[in-house]
Amino acid sequence: MGYDILSKVIELTDSTEALEKRLKDVAYLLIHSFAFDQCAIYLLDQDKKVLTLAVAVGSKRGCQEEYREDEGLPGLAIKNGKPIFATQSKSAKELWQGGLDKGTNGFNTIVCYPIKDDWFHGVLYLKNKEKKTISIKQKRLLGVITLQLATAIKNYQCIVNLRDINTKMKDMQYRLVNAEKLLALGEMAASLAHEIKNPLVSIGGFAKRLSHQMSLDSPYMSYVDRIVKEVAKLEKLMDGIVHFSKEEGYAFSSEDINSIIEETIAFFEDDFKKNEITVIKELSLNVPKIDVDRQHLNLVFNNLMTNAIQAMEKGGRLTIQTYQEGNWIVAEIHDTGGGIDPKIMSNIFNPFYTTKETGTGLGLAITHSIITNHKGIIEVNNNIGVGVTFIIKLPLAGKEGRILEAS
């Protein structure tokens, strides 16, 4: 009989099913083969030092979701590194009456077997209402079974870790390729930027002079206005391209993020009106000043609002929030422009990637780079069919720096 159970356990634990399914199959096998009312398997979280219920079969009575590493009978089994076999008797009275484990209430036989090989993975917890004796042979068999469970759990965790490492490596590879692209872009930009900026200044400057000399009711006034505005945007873009690859180009000073956002909103006032976009400002007054490069951060909000405006050509709602969250200052920019196609989500921060006819594909690449240069984080919440939320988190690091200096 022992051999049959063991070979069945090996078969179940070696299957390709998800770990939880395998553990559940073994638990069913155990309550039937050993005639117990309840079988639970707890897994040990080494970091949090808790035992969490993975599966429970049979009666659910007194089946606790979680035990601390030093709590209850499972905790005791881990602490001693030895199984506990007990029946309601004088010698084991303290297990029931001492309040050591409420999960034993209503049961008269328990087995609490640590699942371990070279370290602990969890606990196998069997309970039965009736008193019963567990033979030496059965005890030995349970020892081998828990060892088999330990191997299965360990293998599973190795696979999870490998997958995790694999994901991280892919992510790193992606970042490296991206960094190379940005570097190449920076070099190209630097050589082009100077040639482009001078004519731009001339065009914009003369268009401004022209607009000053035209009467306000001239039909051409709107044309000239358009030139002035477009040039101003291009100048901003060029400034961004030149700056974003060069961290030394940043001039950090203590700034109020709300005022930078207000400035950008004012810049787009006409566009909001034209596209019938309602702007909702939820700017926290308690946000402390942080060390940022004002010009660059201006560009970040400029890019994000440009995207939002383009996404909401037929009107919508732009909500801008700021708040403090621990050591971060957070700004959220939420539009109702229908969201981003999930197929292109992984590309949105890539330089030169664009879906717009007139886009440069630089807006979000620059935005990402500026936030990174601020040691910040940018996240995207894409709600398909509804809209996009860009979440920018900037560290209160300047403050920490000053505290360190003071001490």
Q: How far apart are CA 160 and CA 174, in angstroms?
A: 21
Which residue lies nearer to another protein by CB, 207 or 364?
Answer: 207
- Minimum Å gap between C-beta 299 and another protein is 12
Which residue lies nearer to another protein by CB, 307 or 373?
Answer: 373
- Minimum Å gap between C-beta 340 and another protein is 32
Sign of the CA dihedral running 145, 148, 149, 150: positive
Let me know if 199 is exposed, middle or buried by CB neighbors in 10 A (0-12, 13-18, 19+). Answer: exposed
- Backbone angles phi and psi of 110, in degrees to 5: -135, 150
Which residue lies nearer to another protein by CB, 207 or 300?
Answer: 207
Q: Are 74 and 116 in contact (CB under 8 A)?
A: no
Q: Give the strand order in the sheet containing 328-334.
A: 277-283, 316-325, 328-334, 387-395, 377-383
DSSP state of 336: -
Q: How far apart are CA 140 and CA 131, in angstroms?
A: 20
- Minimum Å gap between C-beta 270 and another protein is 17
Mark 382-401 with x for binding to another protein (rule: CB under 8 A) and - for no binding: --------------------
Which residue lies nearer to another protein by CB, 253 or 381?
Answer: 253
Going by C-alpha positions, the residue among 327, 380, 319, 375 that lies closest to residue 349 is 380
Which residue lies nearer to another protein by CB, 184 or 251?
Answer: 251
Report strand pairing: 38-45 vs 377-383: unpaired
- Minimum Å gap between C-beta 373 and another protein is 12
Q: How far apart are CA 260 and CA 303, in angstroms?
A: 13
Q: In 14-51, which residue ranges form alpha helices assigned H by DSSP?
A: 19-34
Here the tokens at position 334 are 């939420």
Q: Which of residues 266-295 bind another protein (CB under 8 A)?
A: 295
CA-to-CA dists, residue 222 to 227, 313, 375, 377, angstroms: 9, 21, 42, 40
Which residue lies nearer to another protein by CB, 204 or 363?
Answer: 204
Which residue lies nearer to another protein by CB, 194 or 226?
Answer: 194
- Minimum Å gap between C-beta 368 and another protein is 19
Mark 175-214 with x for binding to another protein (rule: CB under 8 A) and - for no binding: ------------------xx--xxxxxxxxxxxxx-----
Encode burial over 26-38: b for 16+ CB neighbours within 10 A, e otherwise.
bbebbbebbebbb
Mark 223-252 with x for binding to another protein (rule: CB under 8 A) and - for no binding: -----x--xx--x--xx--xx--x-xx-x-
Q: How far apart are CA 145 and CA 9, in angstroms?
A: 7
**Total number of residues binding another protein (CB under 8 A)?**
28
Q: How far apart are CA 291 and CA 403, in angstroms?
A: 14
- Minimum Å gap between C-beta 372 and another protein is 17
Which residue lies nearer to another protein by CB, 297 or 308?
Answer: 297
Which residue lies nearer to another protein by CB, 197 or 399?
Answer: 197
For the chain, report the end-to-end CA distance as a whole number of angstroms.
71
Which residue lies nearer to another protein by CB, 321 or 372?
Answer: 372
Which residues bind to another protein, rule: CB under 8 A?
Answer: 193-194, 197-209, 228, 231-232, 235, 238-239, 242-243, 246, 248-249, 251, 295
